[in-house]
Amino acid sequence: MYVIYERVRALVKFLNVDTVISQNQFSNKQVEFIKYLNDNTDASYIEALHFFYGGNKKESFNRFLNRIESIVINGGLLANSIVSLKGEAFYKSISTYKSYASLQIIRESGNEKLYVHYAEKILRRAITNQMLDLVMILSSQLEFHYSFIEIDTVKEEKYRLLKNSTTSTLTVINELSLIYYKLGQLIVSGKSVRLIDVTEEYICKLQKAKKLINYNTPFTVAQRIYASLSYYFLLTQEYSKMYVVSKESYEYFKINFPDRALQHFLFRLRMAVAKIFMSDYNGARRLMNEVLEMNPSPGLLHWNSAYSYAFVLEMLTKNYQDATDILIDMVTEPKLNNLEDIWIQQWRIRSAYIHFLAKIGLVDLERIGKKRVPNFRLGRFLNEVPTYSKDKRGLNISIIIAQFLILLADRKFGQIYDRIDALSKYSYRHLKNDDKLRSNCFIRMLLSLAKAEFNPVRAQRYAEKYVEKLKTTEMNLNEYSTEIEIIPYEDLWEIILQLVDQKKKVNLT
């Protein structure tokens, strides 16, 4: 019963309330419910049930939800609402699919002559927009028509050749997509492509396919090749190569697909990301400014990616106030809730670090006018990041450190001591691998701080060997490390020592 509610809640995020009302397809109660979900994005199934049905009519409420889902999916409202998100190319595709749906009604009516007339027109649009699925279907149907109904061997051959060439292209896309999806999964999982057996196979296939790209290459084929190559070099941490292929990709799509604004945005963003990980921060900032000037639509994944990397860039360069301004813009944007919880939780974790900096006077949360970050409470924060807190790959170390920092800023030293044993055990169990060495060192530095009773001089002496080991193990800038070290550990240690030095007499109770 909760599943249907979650589906409807996700669908409603795409709807424009004014459009919903003007379409006149919903009842007044259904419109009221859609407005309720827009205004209460975190409302649970039980809360919505109580609000609309008094809490004791689950079957009626579920039928009500099913009717809304049916109207949204079958009534074309979703298509009408979402076309503005992706630009002109996406709009043309949606329009062509709608025409194809109308065409099938004509075909079922038995008016073959009218069907063929419109099928050939829609096929031309599908070819222009590189909608290979429709090209495949329509060319097959027209081949059949000219083979058996209106016999025309020339047109029959024409559509057979088109069908066969489209089949070959789709086969290539399928092979490339397997690589594209696998690399994407590796990025999300945080694993290194060097650990898998098919590395050489991947890069050989991609480089061979890249040599065949020209101005006639179908959009999806070019997109899969270029995106996969940029993913591959991101995973292998060959950032100069990532930058080169992303730049080449950007220029290719600007020339050959000028209306594909999303691809222009994504490859420009990948150029900026490569510059960040190459530690070319000036180059990264120039590119990032260009990316953000493209005004990505709030609530979409590429919008989140752009501002996440912009935040990372400011934190790496110690521009903490600029990072704070980015964070405030993000967490006060209602459409942030359109994203999956894992991305929302990343911003909650970043908020904890910004609140720590605010508590010790390094940033101003009031600088950008009326936008305000919600008041920070440690208990609520720990409850809001369950996906990370259950993680055993080390990602939740950023939460553990944030908790330590907030208690330190609030001078709750007794609560820190209560957590020392758990912190030590966590480090031993989960931070033993080489790729966790920096986090292990930093946890040992925090334990040394507590052992020194928060005396900065003794803390530096106790932590000296861990500090030296941290210095010899430089932060390897990548997707994983920037998610863990919200503030690079060397910078954070300096901030902590300055903080405890402000009041050397510490009350340990």
Which of 221, 217, 131, 127 has its CA nearest to residue 175?
221
Q: Residue 352: CA atoms inside 13 Å, Cβ hemisphere, count?
A: 27
Q: Which domain holds residue 217?
A: 156-278
Same domain, yes or no, for 310 and 346? yes
Domain-located, residue 316: yes
pLDDT tens digit string along 157-214? 999 999 999 999 899 898 888 888 888 877 776 544 444 544 677 888 888 889 889 8
Taking a C-beta distance cutoff of 8 angstroms, is the pair 399, 385 a contact?
Answer: yes
Domain-located, residue 446: yes
DSSP three-state, residue 184? helix
Which of 194, 167, 178, 279 has its CA nearest to residue 228?
178
Same domain, yes or no, for 417 and 363? no
pLDDT at 119: 94
pLDDT at 252: 95
pLDDT at 117: 92
DSSP three-state, residue 485? coil
Domain-located, residue 113: no
Same domain, yes or no, for 166 and 262? yes
Which of 181, 172, 258 has its CA nearest to residue 215?
258
Given 51, 82, 113, the domain boundary residue is: 82
Same domain, yes or no, for 242 and 345? no
The single-letter code of the amino acid at 72 is V
Domain-located, residue 185: yes
Same domain, yes or no, for 470 and 361? no
d(CA 283, CA 291): 12
Question: What pTM, to 2 d.p., does this model score?
Answer: 0.77
Taking a C-beta distance cutoff of 8 angstroms, is the pair 443, 451 a contact?
Answer: no
d(CA 65, CA 48): 11
Same domain, yes or no, for 246 and 345? no
pLDDT at 508: 39
Same domain, yes or no, for 162 and 269? yes
Same domain, yes or no, for 168 and 250? yes
Domain-located, residue 115: no
pLDDT tens digit string along 61-80? 888 888 888 877 766 555 55
d(CA 463, CA 424): 14
pLDDT tens digit string along 298-349? 888 899 999 999 999 999 999 999 999 999 999 988 888 888 888 888 899 9
Which of 190, 187, 184 has its CA nearest to residue 391?
190
pLDDT at 126: 92
Same domain, yes or no, for 165 and 237? yes
Given 82, 99, 131, the domain boundary residue is: 82
d(CA 423, CA 397): 10
Q: What is the DSSP letter of 339?
A: S
The single-letter code of the amino acid at 185 is Q
Domain-located, residue 132: no
Domain-located, residue 242: yes
Exposure b/e, 403-441, CB count within 10 A at least 16 = b: bbbbbbbeeebeebeeeeeebeebbeebbeeebbebbbb
Same domain, yes or no, for 246 and 312? no
Residues of the chain with pLDDT under 70: 1-2, 14-24, 55, 74-90, 189-199, 367-374, 384, 386-395, 428, 430-435, 476-480, 503-509
Please give the tally of structural domains in the chain: 4
Given 246, 278, 310, the domain boundary residue is: 278
Domain-located, residue 90: no
d(CA 133, CA 75): 23
Same domain, yes or no, for 204 and 272? yes
10 burial level (CB within 10 Å; 0-12, 13-18, 19+): exposed
CA angle 81, 85, 87 (to 5 degrees): 115
